Chains A and B, each alone.
Chain A
């Protein structure tokens, strides 16, 4: 542990963390020897163990720095294994941290927890799944951002060059609903149903999609496709991944019509498209409009697997689409929570 300063007043200590530039703008919980040791015990790691490293950036996350940031964020020790999985995901070569962490696109690090641990830790998957009010959701997501800022030196205005950023950059963690129409998300990504996983996904926007009348999958999914491929969307570049978080009323429409997750992915892949001429009129593609551009389609996705479909949320005719960041410049990473 590094002893930097002394204080006796907790409020003064909180101010000292602000002064050191170690907060996300909200007050942090000042760590103690006891709380950091408890967090390390929760992670089942020694403090000097390297949890993850961004190659070429001289950036390392040790178990100790993970634990300190987790305490600061307000995490309970039992959340620590989720954070370990999140850091391993951040440092996975295919996530390609530098782009989604530093881009003007200002991505939120979306953390999706699947499997039994979600219930054990009380990670909300239902009403207000993306919103406030649940400690696990709020503090796990917050800890990951603090780790990025402090341990990985991704500070706003320095390595983080977001034009706007978005509120999800403070914290964005939710759990998959267990009573879904299909096999659990992590099973679809090759894990066992009794395992728990953390999926890390970079997204620079979230749009809620409403449809209270549709009784057919096609009608619901046309709304998703439109939202995923508007003229200002980063998906215009093509071949991003995108996340669809389906509310259970919409999932019920899929279930009633016997549509599988693959059916949904395929439909969206085929319908997330725009005419080249429209993209050129909006200057999202270069060059003058040629006659064939009026009948030539440009697709957002090249594979059904580019669409990540997760169920969550409470009652109501809503779902959410979260377009991905940056072509194939990053991929969602799913890591087993040990």
Chain B
């Protein structure tokens, strides 16, 4: 008898690899993705303020998802890729 793997691990490495991590936050352009949960925007803006004060980052893109459940819009992804060096997606509640 042999075992049958019910997972999809055998399909190889993820097709969407993680972006390279920045070596430093200094002066980076920041993207904020609000997932629309209560207080998500509040948390994101506070984090952005702290990063700006500590590392000189600036918010370059703000996006609001359709809902916490839905994936981010393709146009927003394009804008983030083009105009942001670092992205934070917030979950409030």
Task: Give which listed residue, A3, A7, A146, A329, contacts B70 with CB less than 8 A.
Answer: A329
Interface of A is mostly: loop
List residues of B whose CB falls within 8 A of some A CB. Answer: 1-8, 10-11, 14-16, 67-72
- Closest-by-CB residue of A relative to B74 is A55
Contact A8–B4 (Cβ < 8 Å): no
Check if A65 is an interface residue, CB within 8 A of chain B.
Answer: yes
Q: List residues of chain A with CB within 8 A of the CB of B70.
A: 93, 96, 98-99, 329
Contact A6–B69 (Cβ < 8 Å): no
- Closest-by-CB residue of B relative to A10 is B1
Q: List 29 A-B contacts (CB under 8 A).
A: A2-B4, A2-B10, A3-B3, A5-B3, A13-B3, A17-B3, A22-B6, A22-B7, A31-B4, A56-B16, A56-B71, A56-B72, A58-B15, A59-B8, A61-B8, A65-B7, A68-B4, A68-B5, A69-B6, A71-B4, A99-B69, A99-B70, A150-B6, A153-B7, A153-B8, A326-B68, A328-B67, A329-B68, A329-B70
Q: How far, in angstroms, from A98 to B72 measured CA to CA in the complex?
A: 12
Contact A4–B7 (Cβ < 8 Å): no
- Closest-by-CB residue of B relative to A102 is B69
List A123-181 residues whose CB lies under 8 Å from chain B: 146-147, 150-151, 153
Q: How far, in angstroms, from A17 to B5 measured CA to CA in the complex?
A: 9
Contact B69–A100 (Cβ < 8 Å): yes
Check if A60 is an interface residue, CB within 8 A of chain B.
Answer: yes
Q: List residues of chain B with CB within 8 A of the CB of A326.
A: 67-69
Task: Give which listed residue, A5, A56, A72, contacts B6 with CB less than 8 A.
Answer: A72
**Are A151 and B2 also in contact (CB < 8 A) when A55-B71, A98-B69, A330-B69 are?**
no
Q: Give the Cβ gap from B71 to chain A, nearest Cβ, in Å.
A: 5
Contact B1–A8 (Cβ < 8 Å): yes
Q: How far, in angstroms, from A331 to B2 measured CA to CA in the complex?
A: 40
Query: What is the 8 Å Cβ interface bit string for chain A, positions 286-309, against chain B (1 contact, 0 not)?
Result: 000000000000000000000000
Q: List residues of chain A with CB within 8 A of the CB of B1.
A: 6-8, 10, 13, 30, 32
Q: List residues of chain A with CB within 8 A of the CB of B7.
A: 22, 65, 150-151, 153
Q: How far, in angstroms, from A69 to B72 measured CA to CA in the complex?
A: 30
Contact A99–B67 (Cβ < 8 Å): yes
- Closest-by-CB residue of B relative to A95 is B69
Check if A1 is an interface residue, CB within 8 A of chain B.
Answer: yes
- Closest-by-CB residue of B relative to A64 is B4
Q: Give the Cβ gap from B38 to chain A, nearest Cβ, in Å.
A: 8
Q: List residues of chain A with CB within 8 A of the CB of B4.
A: 1-2, 4, 30-31, 36, 68, 71
Q: How far, in angstroms, from A1 to B6 measured CA to CA in the complex?
A: 10
Q: List residues of chain A with CB within 8 A of the CB of B16.
A: 56, 58
Q: Give the Cβ gap from B76 to chain A, nearest Cβ, in Å.
A: 12
Check if A327 is an interface residue, CB within 8 A of chain B.
Answer: yes
Q: Give the Cβ gap from A109 to chain B, nearest Cβ, in Å.
A: 14
Q: Give the Cβ gap from A236 to chain B, nearest Cβ, in Å.
A: 13
Q: List residues of chain A with CB within 8 A of the CB of B72.
A: 56
